[in-house]
Amino acid sequence: MSVTANTRAMLRDRAAAVLHGNDAGSWTKASPVLYPHQWSWDSAFIAIGWAHLDVQRAMTELEQLFAAQWATGMVPHLVFRAGPDHPYFPGPEWWDTSASPAAPAPPVKTTGICQPPVHALALQRIWQLTPEARQPEIRSRIQVLYPRMVNWHRYLATHRDPEASGLVTTFHPWEGTDNSPRWDRALERITVAKPGPYTRVDTSEVPDPSQRPTNWDYDRFLWLVEQLRKYRYDDAQIYREYPFLIKDVFFSAILIAANAALLDLADVAGAGDDDREQLTRWLDRGRAGLASRFDTQTGLCIDYDVRAGEDIRLRTFAGFAPLFARSADSGQRAAQLRLLDSEDFCGHPRLRWRLLPSASPAESGFQPHDYWRGPVWPVINWLLWEALNMLGCSARADEIRSDSLSQIAAGGIGEYFEPFTGKQLGSPQQSWTAAVTLDWTA
């Protein structure tokens, strides 16, 4: 059943209040307590939310993030912006990016990894929502930001894909989906992970620490950061020596969608022929790369562990990369839609809502309350919703929007949701959930 007009209006107000509550002026906290800084892909979703309230503020969000872009083109996964009264671990001293000549100069402080490039999708939405009277100003701001976004995509297409495979290599679980079972085997191979002494703060900031990654995970996450630091965040050296290199089909899919979004904005941005041709080449290469990872037997797209030289055959949300890329051909689309509504995913009889869980309940690593190991993440369902619309599957897309809004109306503007009960988990008042709520209720 779809949500009523009253519920939509109520959700809209609540979502706007969350964004305003987390607004730090020119950037937005990912959540009030647990994530007090500016996160990269959160900011992109947040800009989509702001675009419904104030397109200028939405542009500022992206501009602030890109102000911390590295000389390599990398947009860091986190910009440390909150003061010392907002503890977050690991902080800038753990990352110590001063080791890299490519890191931004002080006082800007960032981490040394990145997250999926949702930013161009945000820029596209901002432009779509820009009222005519504001178009001259927003257009000129887009013209400044656009080349920086092209550079960001260039970083991903080169430093993170030296093989020119069309697939992005992820260096760290914190590059999006922290404790996803997709990384389990690669992390298990790291047997000597003994990072320096540390104290977590995240586990005391959620009602139940079992909703967060374990200490075993954190030992490995932090040890990996130590290795990145040791290699001075030099991508070429990391590629030669570092133990965690994974061709991530979800990350790659977002880059494909983002390259298409930049091409769509090329006229607005006044892009030259060089940029247009380059974006087209990356787009074609990305699509071919993703197609090469599609498994016709299962209908899933599969990640690849570069170091181990092995496929990662798990049923998680990432397996729907051809849909997220908005580039599935008709055969792949049909196979993926069948799988999406099968008992392994949205058709599982115990699900509270027919939404895509982060891992299949049929997968052995599935945990219904544990972060990226099973819960439903609204932003992932937003990406699926937008993709299905663009692929012409609007009836299924409408259901995803409606179920997502019902879930948020019942559970709150949470970070993630228990798939069987719909209960809110993790951090309350999560900015990116508020942002997609604003987009869904427009």
For ligand 9YW, the binding residues (CB under 6 A) are 30, 35, 39, 41-42, 115, 176, 178, 202
We find the least distance from the C-beta atom of residue 186 to ligand 9YW, in angstroms, to be 17
| Residue at shortest CB range from ligand 9YW | 30
Residue 41 vs 80, nearer CB to ligand 9YW? 41
The CA-based diameter of the chain, rounded to the nearest angstrom, is 59
The DSSP line for 209-251 is GGGS--HHHHHHHHHHHHHHHHTTT-HHHHHHH-S--EE-HHH
C-beta of residue 62 within 8 angstroms of C-beta of residue 122: yes
Helix (H, G, I), strand (E, B) or coil at 324: helix
* CA nearest neighbour of 220 among 199, 192, 249: 192
Torsion sign across C-alpha atoms 192, 197, 203, 209: positive
In the bound state with ligand 9YW, the residue whose beta carbon lies nearer, of 43 and 165, is 43
| Residue 52 beta carbon to ligand 9YW: minimum distance, rounded to whole angstroms | 20
Indicate left, alpha or beta for 176 from its phi (over 0: left) and psi (-120 to 50: alpha). Answer: left
Q: Where are the beta strands (DSSP E) in 306-344?
A: 310-312
Instruction: Find out whether 39 and 118 touch, Cβ atoms under 8 Å.
Output: no
β strands within 241-348, DSSP E: 246-247, 294-295, 300-301, 303-305, 310-312
**Sequence-separated (6 or more) residues with CB below 8 Å from residue 125:** 47, 48, 51, 439
Looking at the annotation, which residues are catalytic? 178, 415
Cβ proximity of 336 and 299 under 8 Å: yes
Question: Minimal distance in Å, beta carbon 272 to ligand 9YW?
Answer: 33
Residue 169 neighbours by CB under 8 Å, 6+ apart: 160, 161, 239, 245, 246, 247, 248, 306
Task: Tell me how far, at minimum, the Cβ of 415 lies from ligand 9YW, in Å.
Answer: 7
CB-nearer residue toward ligand 9YW: 252 or 332: 252
CB of 53 to ligand 9YW, least distance (A): 20
Under 8 Å between Cβ of 290 and 252: yes
Cα-only R_g, the chain: 20
By beta-carbon proximity to ligand 9YW, the closer residue of 130 and 358 is 358
Beta strands 416-417 and 300-301, pairing class: unpaired
**With respect to ligand 9YW, which residue has the nearer C-beta, 63 or 178?**
178
Smallest distance from the beta carbon of 435 to ligand 9YW, in angstroms? 11
Our CB check for ligand 9YW shows the closer of 36 and 322 to be 36
Nearest distance from residue 383's CB to ligand 9YW, in Å? 12
Q: For ligand 9YW, which is the closer residue by CB, 344 or 370?
A: 370
Q: Which two tokens stand for residue 107?
A: 């006082």
